[in-house]
Structure 1
Amino acid sequence: MAAKSGSKPAKTTRERSSSSACRWFNRPDAPREVTTGQPHRLSNLSARPQFNAFIAQALPQSCQIPRIEHGQETIRGSALLVVSWRSWMGQMANKGKLQRGKLVCLRNAMIGIAVIALIRLALFTDATSRLLSGLNFANATLYLLLVGILAVAVYRRDQLIKLQKEIVARKEEEIELIYAALNQHALVSLTDRDGRITSLNDKFTERLGYSSDELVGKPISMIYPGGENDTVYNQTREKLEAGEIWSGENEEMAADGSRVYSRGTFVPVMDDHGKLVRSVGIRTDNTDFHRAQHARSLKALFDHLQDEVYVCDTASLQMVYANCAALRSSGWEARELTQKTILDADPDRSADPKVNEKIFRAHVAPLVTGEEEVVTIDVQRGEGHGEVSTRIIRGDDGRNLFVSVLRDSTKRKEIELAKMQSISIVSHELRTPLTSIKGSLRLLESGALGAFDQKAQSVLDIAARNTDRLLLVIDDILDLEKIRAGKMEFTKSPIDLVTFVAEAVEMNRGYGDELNVNFDFHTDLEAAPTRAAPERIMQVIANLLSNAAKYSPTNGTVRIGLCQDGRFWRIFISDNGPGIPEEMRDAVFETFSQLKSADGVTRKGTGLGMTISQKIVEAHKGEIGFDSELGKGSTFFVKLPIDEASNEDVGDKPLAEVTCQSNAA
């Protein structure tokens, strides 16, 4: 049915039950028990404004407890309180203002109060009621209710505190676990506003190889390869000072000089004015991944080169890498590479029958000492030839590695051999008539055929000098052919280099005079015994003296010295010419090499002298080399072994006590 106009809204079930209870307790015919006597002190509670205000807020408006004056029944008041309280609790639960747990506790308190009232109804007699007629039972019940609520509140507070402690304990445990995981996984650093390190975790110091004391208080830029000028470091600082988070790839330097690669995130902490206060850096080490990726890139690059590439550890000589050409040539399988050493290369067709660890170590010794950046050796592989260039590089893991590249030089050797054979044939054909021409010119110079005027004598001298020069070129070509064919004989005998070098200087002084260059020989040694082929060592010294004179300025001085250098005698010849450019150093000892002078002046030469000199010195188990500074001159040196049998005093000296102080620089 439709609601009648002007009718009141329908009440809910709870409101109807509450209103019914109120109306029942307020009926005129409800049983009442009038009390007499003086009011109890608790009866004044309902007269207090604070209490009335509490009741007005706590109980529903439809069922407020009527003001209980002296003389009203305690049973009626208690029952009304119970019903009213249950009605209020129901409404509060409907509104969702109390949680289920709290409602249970409060309802339990209310049930306790109801039990007390029922006990009173059941057990108290009329006499007892009259005895207690001075007490306002409703007011007492309210006190009990308040005490119950207080007890519940205290209980709930204790429960909440206990719960909070449990939550805090769990959070602390979670934080500890997170910190432990972070400490094991990431490199964490804290820096101040100036970029100085204030704190580090153990993983950071362990990975970079520093102690905490070595880093704390120092600028974080010290671990970057470029220091304060490092690009990544500066990008990071710019972002942090702007209050922005920076993430990206990092490259740091460990204490041993190796590189550490990481993925980092840096978070700034700003003050109220937007200024950087400190920053937190979290790095994830991905060095192994970076190295693997780098290795894959290099492998893909080197695998298909025609040249053979061998990489081995400098300490153990254990193989680290070999490209496809090296594996094919050596007969190795890739899976067994780490079980090989560089000395195992091509065991059936050895690159050089004399290859062993002692010889290899001697070959690469200049690399280890830092004297040379690259060492080169020619090898023979079956019917073919190769040239091996070796250098030292530092791996990403900090290890020093030998990198040897073997280039097949068979075709180049064949071309050079064909060229030398052709030149040799021509040289042989030219030598005989040139020898006859030289003899005839010498006969004319002697005056046996009569005297010549000054003009004719000058032309005769020019012809004689050029004939000698041409014969020297032919001799050089024939000597080089003999050396390469292994047919040049080296008849060694004991010689004293002090006397020998002095004689060589005097023999070539005339050539220096022609160029207005002075030769100055000086040594502090009284004797320098060695075993050598005198005519061949004289050829080497003469070649070095002529080169020094050609490249010296007019009225310049070529300094020649002799000293002891370890187990060798060291002969050095120094000029103050234009020097040798860096890009032409490798070509000094090449065949038919004509160096372009730094001063632009063209000097005559065959381009064979230095090649022949190198071969002669190596045949004596010696060494030839040079030092040069552009614009200041060059110093060439020859090292020949000391003859221990002839110089026992020198031979017994420790290497550390043997020095060679050359002023030829």
Structure 2
Amino acid sequence: MGQFAGGKLQTLAVLLALLTTAVVSLYFRDIENENALKDFEVLATEGTDALDARLHQYMVGLEGLGGLFDVTGTPDRKTVETYVASLQLDELLPGINGIGFIEYVPADQLDRFLDESAQLGIEDIRVYPPSDRDVRFVIKYIEPYVGNEEALGLDISFEEGRRTAALAARDTGLPHLTPRILLVQDDSKTPGFLLLRPYYAPDAEIETVEQRRAAFKGWVYAPFIGARTLENLTPSQNQAYSFSVYDGEATEPDMLIFDSSAGEQTAHTSFFTTQSQLEIYGRTWTIKWESLPEFEAAKRSNGYIFVMVFGLLLTGLLYALLQNLSQRQKTVEQIVRRKTLDLEAQKIQNESILNNPLLAIMITDAHGKILRRNDASNQILEIGHDYVPNLLTVVPELTGMEGGTRTRLEFQGKDSVKILSVKKNDWTTPHGEKRSTYFLRDITIAEATSAAAINAEKRLDLALQASEIGVFEIDLATGESIVSDMWMHIMNVPDCTKDFDAQAYFEACVDPDDYRMLQANDSACIQGKEERTTTEFRVHLDNGTRWMRSDAFVSSRDANGRALKLVGTQIDITASREMDRVKNEFIATVSHELRTPITAVKGAIGLLKASPDLSLPAPSARLLDIAQTNVDRLTELVNDILDLERVQAGHMRLEYKDIAVNTLLRDAREQILPIAKTANIDVDIQPADNDPVLPMDRSRMLQIMANLLSNACKFAPAGTTIQVGAETVGSQVRIYVRDAGPGVPKSFVPSLFKPFSQADNSDTREKSGTGLGLCIAREIIERMSGQIGYRKTDDNMTEFWVSLTMPESFSSEKQALRLVQ
């Protein structure tokens, strides 16, 4: 019975010990979870504060741009670009897309707005989308421009959320944030926002809604993408916790702005969660915080399990608990230190924004004593950091300057005279003390640069007039163009009105036979196949037919590579062409006169060699062979000279027929095979896919192919193979001849297609030739609106190629080719 009672007591003791252990372990578990929750809420508060601080940083940047507008009135585009660049957005304002200005434009003043924008250097602005509203809210400035091109000219009133936030900011005088929107410049189509700060006329009364509307000018604004703004708020983000942000008071999925856990491979049910709301610039953002396994692992332990299993090891459990508490304390201290460093960094960032090196800001009392100033003030006025002077003593010209006015003055520095732009604002402290704020900007370099630019433009105009070079610029997207006075002079343009259509006039004057070649050359440049387009062509003017040479290039392309502008020069080369004509006529006359004696000599030699009764000694027969060879070379030279003269004078008529390219290749091979076999060289055809058919002069194309193939036979090593083939590249058919020869020296390539040009001009050269074959080939192929060229292939083969345009491409090219100015 006693044993039974003892067993009951032991069992009761064991049960009590187990119960006590369980209660204690559960109690500690609850305490642990409660402390961890507090730590987690500290992290959440830290993240909320960091987000609030980041948005207020954006507002500091907008305040700075508003100050710039106060100082400059209406700054030009370059000034705004320089100011925004000085803010170092990526480093000091992370997440922001840019900073700009939205102007409040009545619909009946839209033309005035566009003219004023052009004068300020904003030439590429266009207002969109179309609207029938009485007032437009147009983005006039946005910097940096790269990446924000689509925003420039946008009327933000087209969308209800943007318009409501903008009007609320105007009427309240307070910054406002738009609802969740999609930025037009954001290709990722993720949620974004506009932060709008109203801007009123300086010194205007804005106490009432009516006064604010009367003084209203527009909004200084900053576009930002929610995901970028919410990234990397604190070091604990995505390490200790994840969070999601919603636009509004509820966590509706369609109002989600950002979810830091998006894209995670594994799902996780968070042990700690908390939710808060942030009231920021007229909007309510709901933030939901969720712990991550790393945080939970650091804050939770399995000590209570060990207490339940090993009740007698309570001391060890307490020791482990104390260690855990110590570690938790260290974690909290680290968080506090990181937060302190973040706050100090934010303070430094704010100071760097206020100390803009381009704008000096000083606050003085009623007597001109400087109470506060930024570093730019010390630099512009050349005063020491520790020296506290009277502003009116340093710059006496400011004495008597009234508040709300702007002035320009010359300031004598230590080494030179500076030109300053000064704006003064007067105000009173809550204690009735009068204060003045001065904004100073050094405009010395800006004025000097403007004067230098004007002088340079005058010198350039004089140089162009003296050299009789006409200049044109074409906007290929809109068709708008600009031509110089000299262009109009050399084109004999009569006195005309501002509606003069230069393109129509040019097309009416260009000789029809030259227009197709002009189109093909310009098309190759516009499509990016050639770096420049250079063409000589005839124009028929009131004072006769003149020869012109145009040289142009594409000066700008969009992100997709589409040509936007074509810029070039045009000169009158009639006199030069006339000199060439006289020279060619002389050469042709001499060549014609040589033909008769050459024919006689050649016939006499032929009779001597064919005479059966004439027996000559071996030396004499050798001399007769040498004479025969040189007469043949002289005949070839005369024929080449006459061909060149005919094609350059326009007397060579081309008979176009539809010819299959692969048939042309086979005929060219058959034509050259005897020469190739003599040189122990094989000729291989590489036919074009689909065998394209082109309009061409067959005999002249075979003449070109014979020239290229005979050159290849001369220079290709014996036992090798010459490749003759064709391929289709876009709208072009490219015919090529490749051989394993040494190729053309780089120094000789620019002269390759000039008359009488040979890489080896010495009397002892091994390969004979007139030096006219490639020149004649180029002249003929250009008359066919084609191109000819040379290159070394990737496998070190020597390649000469001819490129011709397929007929169906001509009609499409003609629409975008040339608006010559």
Q: TM-score normalized by structure 2?
A: 0.42
Opposite residue 297 of structure 1, the aligned amino acid is A
Partner of 2:527: 369
For 2:67 and 2:576, the matched residues in 1 are separated by 60
Q: Is residue 2:99 matched to residue 1:202?
A: yes
For 2:754 and 2:520, the matched residues in 1 are separated by 22
Q: Is residue 2:726 matched to residue 1:562?
A: yes
Partner of 1:181: 66
The structural deviation recorded for 1:302 is 4.5
Q: Kindly indicate whether the alpha-carbon contact (under 8 Å) linking 2:527 and 2:563 is maintained by their aligned counterparts in 1.
A: no
Partner of 1:144: none
Bigger Rg, structure 1 or 2: 1
For 2:566 and 2:693, the matched residues in 1 are separated by 37
Opposite residue 735 of structure 2, the aligned amino acid is I
Partner of 1:326: 487
For 1:294 and 1:582, the matched residues in 2 are separated by 40
| SS, match of residue 210 in structure 1 | coil
Q: Kindly indicate whether the alpha-carbon contact (under 8 Å) linking 1:573 and 1:636 is maintained by their aligned counterparts in 2.
A: yes
Alignment of 1:420-569 (within 5 A): 420-445=584-609, 448=612, 458-493=622-657, 495-512=659-676, 518-523=682-687, 529-553=693-717, 556-565=720-729, 569=733
Partner of 2:550: 388
More displaced, 422-431 or 335-344? 335-344
Opposite residue 709 of structure 2, the aligned amino acid is L
The structural deviation recorded for 1:540 is 0.9
Opposite residue 490 of structure 2, the aligned amino acid is S
For 1:454 and 1:388, the matched residues in 2 are separated by 60
For 2:636 and 2:770, the matched residues in 1 are separated by 10
Alignment of 1:10-409 (within 5 A): 178-179=63-64, 181-182=66-67, 186=80, 187-188=83-84, 198=94, 200=96, 202-203=99-100, 206-210=143-147, 212=224, 297-298=456-457, 300-305=459-464, 306=467, 307-322=469-484, 324-330=485-491, 340-345=501-506, 350-352=509-511, 361-381=519-539, 382-394=544-556, 400-409=564-573
For 2:648 and 2:731, the matched residues in 1 are separated by 28
Partner of 1:114: none
Q: Kindly indicate whether the alpha-carbon contact (under 8 Å) linking 2:792 and 2:799 is maintained by their aligned counterparts in 1.
A: yes
When you count strand as a share of all residues, which structure comes out higher?
2
Q: Classify 1:342/1:545 alpha carbon distance in 2 versus 1 (closer, same or farther; 3 Å).
A: same
The structural deviation recorded for 1:502 is 2.7
Match of 1:635 among 799, 812, 819: 799
Q: Kindly indicate whether the alpha-carbon contact (under 8 Å) linking 2:655 and 2:696 is maintained by their aligned counterparts in 1.
A: yes
The structural deviation recorded for 1:491 is 3.8
Q: Classify 1:503/1:465 alpha carbon distance in 2 versus 1 (closer, same or farther; 3 Å).
A: farther
| SS, match of residue 606 in structure 1 | coil
Q: Classify 1:507/1:311 alpha carbon distance in 2 versus 1 (closer, same or farther; 3 Å).
A: same
For 1:567 and 1:210, the matched residues in 2 are separated by 33
More relative contact order, 1 or 2 (CA 8 Å, 6+ apart) = 2
Q: Kindly indicate whether the alpha-carbon contact (under 8 Å) linking 1:392 and 1:400 is maintained by their aligned counterparts in 2.
A: yes
Opposite residue 208 of structure 1, the aligned amino acid is Y
The structural deviation recorded for 1:181 is 1.0
Q: Classify 1:189/1:418 alpha carbon distance in 2 versus 1 (closer, same or farther; 3 Å).
A: closer
The structural deviation recorded for 1:366 is 0.8
Opposite residue 753 of structure 2, the aligned amino acid is F
Q: Kindly indicate whether the alpha-carbon contact (under 8 Å) linking 1:393 and 1:403 is maintained by their aligned counterparts in 2.
A: yes
For 1:570 and 1:399, the matched residues in 2 are separated by 24
Q: Kindly indicate whether the alpha-carbon contact (under 8 Å) linking 1:578 and 1:632 is maintained by their aligned counterparts in 2.
A: no
Identity of aligned residues (%): 25
Q: Kindly indicate whether the alpha-carbon contact (under 8 Å) linking 2:517 and 2:782 is maintained by their aligned counterparts in 1.
A: no
Q: Kindly indicate whether the alpha-carbon contact (under 8 Å) linking 1:521 and 1:561 is maintained by their aligned counterparts in 2.
A: yes
Deviations 1:53-96, CA, capped at 9 Å, x for gaps? xxxxxxxxxxxxxxxxxxxxxxxxxxxxxxxxxxxxxxxxxxxx
Opposite residue 463 of structure 1, the aligned amino acid is A
Deviations 1:491-542, CA, capped at 9 Å, x for gaps? 4455554344333334334444566654333326686655543332221111
The structural deviation recorded for 1:339 is 5.5
- Gaps spanning 5+ residues in structure 2: where? 1-58, 70-74, 101-140, 149-223, 233-348, 360-374, 380-440, 814-821
- Gaps spanning 5+ residues in structure 1: where? 1-173, 219-239, 250-263, 269-281, 645-650, 656-665
Q: Is residue 2:612 matched to residue 1:612?
A: no
Opposite residue 363 of structure 1, the aligned amino acid is N
Q: Classify 1:396/1:501 alpha carbon distance in 2 versus 1 (closer, same or farther; 3 Å).
A: closer
RMSD over equivalenced CA pairs, Å: 5.3
